[in-house]
Amino acid sequence: MSTTADEAQETDTVAWYRNERVRDVIGLLARLFLGIVLIVAGAAKVGHPVTSQRAVQAYQIFPFELAGSIGLVLPFLEIILGVLLVLGLFTRLAAVASTVLMVAFIIGISQAWARGLAIDCGCFGGGGQIAPDATKYPQEIARDLSFALAGAWLAWRPRSLASLDRILFGH
């Protein structure tokens, strides 16, 4: 088995998954995926400040006032990170921040689940308490995990096709 693998690698063409071009394309896809998700999630909350505040307050992690402030700022933060990712500007920084954000969301949802709260994650607007049988914690966590993975890829390898980083700074 190992011989065949080695033989394949010894050929002149590099395995596709080691190909820098392929990885650049993956980077572009990760940027667009995570960036568009962040813009959509942020835009859904803009213009609904109370809903956004209530959504954060429903997690019952932070003091009421602080949760309210987070709810006010979060939509705009999401949009800014999303725009940076779509443009490919300061990709690594934006990717690290986005990944941290997604991990924070996953922790928030998990603790709500563990504590027996019945809330909607409010990820794309809405949020707050819902009927206990209407919770979607596993789906919400899985979804945020896929976003976190895209962010982690870009944090590890921020180089990608068609990025402002490349155009402006040459990397």
Which residues here bind other proteins, judged by CB under 8 A? 6, 9-10, 12-15, 18, 20, 46-51, 54-55, 57-58, 60, 64, 72-73, 75-77, 79-80, 84, 89-90, 119, 125-133, 168-171
CB of 88 to other proteins, least distance (A): 12
**Closest to 67 measured CA to CA, from 55, 49, 79:** 55
CB of 76 to other proteins, least distance (A): 4
Sign (positive or negative) of CA dihedral 153, 155, 158, 164: positive
Type of residue numbered 69:
S
CB of 146 to other proteins, least distance (A): 26
Give the side-chain half-sphere CA count within 13 A for 165.
23
Of 48 and 149, the one with the shorter C-beta distance to other proteins is: 48
CB of 43 to other proteins, least distance (A): 11
Of 80 and 145, the one with the shorter C-beta distance to other proteins is: 80
Of 34 and 79, the one with the shorter C-beta distance to other proteins is: 79
Of 99 and 135, the one with the shorter C-beta distance to other proteins is: 135
